[in-house]
Amino acid sequence: MDQRNEVRDLLVQIYGDRDGRLAAERIFPLLDAFPKNPVSDKARAFFSESDVIVITYGDSIRQSGEMPLATLKRFADTYFKDVFSAIHILPFYPYSSDDGFSVTDFYRVDPEIGTWRGVSELKENFRLMFDYVLNHISAQSDWFRHYLAGTPGYSRLAIEVDPATDLSMVVRPRALPLLTEFRKAPGQTVHVWTTFSADQIDLNYKSLDVLERMVRVLLFYLGQGASMLRLDAVAYLWKELGTTCIHLEKTHTVVKLFRAILDIAAPGVILVSETNVPHHENISYFGNGRDEAQMVYNFTLPPLLLHTFLTRNASELTRWAAGLDPLTNTTIFLNFTASHDGIGVRPLEGILPDDALDRLAAHVVENGGLISHKRNPDGSESPYELNITYVDALLDDAMPAGDAFHAERFLASQTAQLSMPGMPGIYIHSILGSRNWSAGVASTGRARTINREKLMVSDIIADLEDPASLRHQIFYPYTHRIRVRRRQPAFHPSAHCRVLALDPRVFALVRSCPDQTIYALTNVTPENVDLAWPELATSGRMGDLISGREQGTAPIRLNPYQSVWLTSG
């Protein structure tokens, strides 16, 4: 099908014949005016074993007297240049709350952290992922002020609902009111849809004005050099009364529309869906493998990996990993263990029993973390995410004489992540070995602050230069493993993966391509594990890519929390 006809057909599916044609009359001139091929050919061949993303706020690393984006560039050029291929800069736009996710102006860079030139300079050595915060906008934005004032073109910006309406079916990601009261000129009281907070106004995509504005934002980000666009909270985009208002058919059709627009304007740009939901719902955003997101956050991995190390048993992780299927060689998982948010537990629904989730939550609280809750249809609340750094989530204070394996256990978890098929996404506070920022939580009153500390670059460097510091003990082995991984063709996102149930204490994968086979083994316990494995016994002597040492094959001994990448190549 002609690409423009595909866009037109999708608009008709969303808005009907008449409004679909009107929408096309608005969208096509924007595409016609957009510069062709704004993204380099390099971005078109994006998926490879060398692609690893670091996730950071624009001001996660600071230096007195310097704009944070300039500090980030200087630090990244020194410490990340041969480690990461891309940087996901979390929302760097002006905002009023939620650490950037309540955007007041989609077209500006927060003047507290830098300018568009500062963003562009990061592209010298890294591809960039931008957040496309498409579900909502700040209640303090000019757009919402125009709505309240009754400015023409803004009358349907928000979703107005009678507070007497039965909204019990709506799936809630927060334990906050769904509707928020505002006063419109001249004195009219309205209740508008606010999925995430009273300061985050859900956009009404039934309005062609909203659609046109958000397509303009999309194209603007392409023009600023985004190689990837993260579809923030996309699952909640379309609302219909009397439904769950999550994953609705028209939500998926809007994602298809944005993909079709990208296929015309910038076919090298990647859509990344962000949906912290059960696994089968999450992967629905791959569509048919060609028409929605090319990359989906692998939300089940973080809590299931934590469960694996907490129980010292890889059986559930092995069973789940054996069933992963990204559909095509052009759709992949973004594998991560930590992010700016907490560790979501909804992705474990149907995988682990409730008592296992309770143990995870109790463990997080024991390690200084917090639990965020969601509101259920019956009015009750249940855990939604675990708020803790992944480093401290992997701490085991119950071990006699203290946790001598803290760094090794954390590195083992990250090596298992690096071994998985897909593209690794690594949060800045994981690669830097950061601990819980409890003082930040006390200051803001928000649980998620625990994993969003702002670090002074001089303090980071001092720790990295101190072999006794946990930051040093994590950073250098971690970056070494990433560098090694980026050179192995068997770790290409589309390389074959065979999951092996060798021993409950070991997570085992075989990654292979025509030029290489890697046996990726991780001991998830503090004990030595000996593996008698006939397949390896007949493979002759093999080398471990991580340690650089030759490894015997009959039996294989894995030390406590040791990971090996064995190959004969």
**Strand pairing category for 423-427 and 53-56:** parallel
Closest CA to 122 of 224, 198, 39: 224
Provide the 3-class DSSP secondary structure of residue 566. strand
Question: Cα(197)–Cα(101) distance, rounded to whole angstroms?
Answer: 11
- 423 close to 493: Cβ distance less than 8 angstroms: yes
Strand partners, 95: 103
Question: Cα(186)–Cα(122) distance, rounded to whole angstroms?
Answer: 47
| Tokens coding 80 | 């990340």
SS3 letters for 471-540?
A: HHHHHHHHHHHHHHHCCCHHHCCCCEEEEEEEECCEEEEEEEECCEEEEEEEECCCCCEEECCHHHHCCC
Question: Cα(464)–Cα(568) distance, rounded to whole angstroms?
Answer: 34
- 112 close to 58: Cβ distance less than 8 angstroms: no
Handedness of CA 260, 266, 268, 270 (dihedral sign): negative
- Tell me 399's DSSP state: S
- Look up 463 and say whether it is catalytic: no
Question: Cα(243)–Cα(236) distance, rounded to whole angstroms?
Answer: 12
- 345 close to 425: Cβ distance less than 8 angstroms: no
Provide the 3-class DSSP secondary structure of residue 398. coil
Question: Cα(428)–Cα(334) distance, rounded to whole angstroms?
Answer: 16
Candidates 51, 110, 199, 232; catalytic one: 232
In the sheet where 343-344 sits, what is the strand order? Answer: 343-344, 381-387, 370-375
Residues with a catalytic annotation lie at 232
